[in-house]
Amino acid sequence: MGQIFDKIAAEAAADPQGFWAKAAEDIAWITPPKQVLDDAKPPFYRWFVGGEVNGCYNAVDRHVEAGRGEQNALIYDSPVTDSKRQITYAELQDQVARCAGMLQAHNVGYGDRVIIYMPMVPEAVIGMLACARIGAIHSVVFGGFAAAELAKRIDDAAPKLILTASCGIEPSRLVEYKPLIDEAIDLSVHKPDSVILWQRPQCEASMIAGRDFNWAEEVAKAEPAACVPVKSEDPAYILYTSGTTGMPKGVVRPTGAHIVALKWSMKNIYDCEAGDVYWAASDVGWVVGHSYIVYGPLFEGCTSVIYEGKPVGTPDAGAFWRVISDYKVKAMFTAPTAIRAVKKEDPNGDLIANYDLSHLKYQFLAGERCDPDTLKWCEDKLGVPTIDHWWQTETGWSIAANCMGIEPLPVKAGSPARPIPTCDVRVVDEAGKDVAAGDIGAIVVKLPLPPGSLSTLWNNDERYVDAYMADYPGFYKTGDAGYLDEDGYVYVMSRTDDIINVAGHRLSTGGMEEVLAEHPDVAESAVLGVNDTLKGQVPMGFIVLKSGVSRAGDEIIKELIASVRERIGPVAAFKLAVIVARLPKTRSGKILRGTIQKIANGESYAMPATIDDPAILDEIADALNHIGYPKS
């Protein structure tokens, strides 16, 4: 196996421009590009220069014109409001055109920025597509984000208008958005002209006369807008990701390249074609939502599921399987954290038997490192290939993936398989020299990056170079650490910041987490380095047990310490572990390792803007105090 993929990858490596020129033939251009790649000013590479295109036309109108207007484009399923809705491509075209007309009526035009601060409702997708329709640049901010963080994004993007809703709905609470919007605008130097608000029946928001407008009323009187030609190099959107300085980095996604890349990925990575039902269980506020709730599936003509719920608690750990069954989902994509939450509540997968999953062909995982135990649980319980793949907000789609639409490669647990065609991944030491197969180092990608990756940071070319290009000239710094094996498979073990130095030995926390995950009582874990006067750093494990475990915690910890010592060796110096009820995470499911580390070391920290539940940090501190941390 692998001969077909090997052939395609080799041809792509020999002629990357020819490879992507062919892929570009699959999208609808208004004006075909005159140049496939402009590499005159590295590291500022530009794909498909001279082309004109429209993202909304490729996502919506072309499918209506092809005669598939009655096919569902979007399926909205909201267990938190007990509501469901299906929108055909023809209906989506009409609603997006009217929303775009509403934006134009509020003086939003080509190149203007629009911040979208919305819950997981169809109107969020409609707003994004409406911006693309008229050449405006959207910047989606996760609904419920703290006002101070939203204010930073308002000042950086300088939006003409904000699209929002009256509230978001969590399983146990309602989050009012309008007070956060009002506070953010008060805090920001830049003042948007207008706020257009979708009133939800669960919460009626107050309006400021002259600035705030009712979405439904404004759309009702708007004239439908036509698609506007956009230059291929123009930004489709800005998406902010956290930065080390406290100021978020505005990733810029060029329009033409992101259409080409995402359309190629739907068939070649996810093996999905027009008419298939595809579900990314994420949020439109994150890059997964941009790429694989909205744009990717719609570029291909799939039906995309919008899910306003959780993997557990809405109502139980069978929620995912119910959605797959109800809508005949072919490929589902979620984060390993979500699967671990399901596994914690339903360790034996008993709830799966309640649903018909016969249409499910693949379970895709990404967003953080997938431990082999989680991958195996999915494969065993679902009975379908479970495909780990690796990518970042900056890249917009996969760096490494098992391309199921080209040729399935053998799965190696713990690896997202091999780099996608034209993506030249290397592992290097601190001097930028390639390391041997199996040795851990910094993972970098040779420039130019494939189409669809960021072209720069919004209004900050200098920071783009400093953050991603300066440390390893000619390469993009992923910020991840890991290794390549002898078959070219990529193993992403941790962020480079999570490689700890124990008495001069560089060790991966991901490797230790792998061992902990294999214990039958462990639902999930995090390992990070804490300060030690003798060794510099030593690893500490934070352990969440599966539901129903009644064994003594001290006994489990002894077993875990022994397992790490046996598998990794005494050099790991793994002697510290604490059982906690839950781990602090971002709303997208990533563990806040840096914050936990600061608590353990007794260092001050700012409350993370993306934290799912701040109360968890007090729980972590209490558990650490119980074992004498931080040390006095």
Task: Give domain status of residue 111, yes or no.
Answer: yes
CA torsion, ordered 413, 415, 419, 424, to nearest 10 deg: -150
From 179, 209, 228, the end of a domain falls on 228
Rounded Cα–Cα distance for residues 379 and 145 (Å): 35
CATH code (residue 609): 3.30.300.30
Nearest to 620 by CA among 543, 548, 557, 550: 543
Q: Which amino acid is at 438?
A: G
Distance in angstroms (rounded) separating the CA atoms of residues 632 and 624: 12
- If one counts the domains in the chain, the total is 2
pLDDT (0 to 100) of residue 532? 82
Collect the ranges in the chain with pLDDT lower than 70. 1, 243-246, 497-499, 501, 503-506, 588, 632
The pLDDT assigned to 113 comes to: 98
Q: Which of these three, 193, 228, 263, is where a domain ends?
A: 228
**Cis? peptide before 311, omega within 30° of 0:** no
In a domain, 595, yes or no: yes
Measured between alpha carbons, how far is 309 from 304 in angstroms, rounded to an integer?
A: 15
Residue 572: DSSP 8-state: G
CA distance 287 to 268: 19
User: Residue 480 half-sphere exposure, CB side, CA atoms within 13 Å?
Assistant: 26
Rounded to whole angstroms, the Cα distance separating 80 from 586 reads 20
Is position 199 within any domain? yes
- Supply the range of the domain harboring residue 172: 90-228
69 found inside a domain? no
- Of 195, 228, 261, the one marking the end of a domain is 228
Return the pLDDT at 503.
Answer: 61
Alpha carbon of residue 531 to chain centroid: 31
CA angle at 528 for the pair 527 and 530, rounded to the nearest 5°: 135
Q: Does some domain include residue 144?
A: yes
What is d(CA 317, CA 350) in angstroms, rounded to the nearest whole number? 10
Task: Give the separation between CA 613 and CA 598, rounded to whole angstroms.
Answer: 17
pLDDT of residue 126: 98
Question: What CATH number is attached to the domain comprising 209?
Answer: 3.40.50.980
Q: What is the pTM of this model?
A: 0.86
Is 558 inside any structural domain?
yes
For residue 632, what pLDDT is reported?
65
Asked if residue 148 is part of any domain, the answer here is yes
Helix (H) or strand (E) holding 89: helix 89-105
In a domain, 560, yes or no: yes
pLDDT for res 170: 87
Convert the pLDDT of each residue in 586-613 to its tens digit. 776 778 888 999 999 999 888 887 777 8
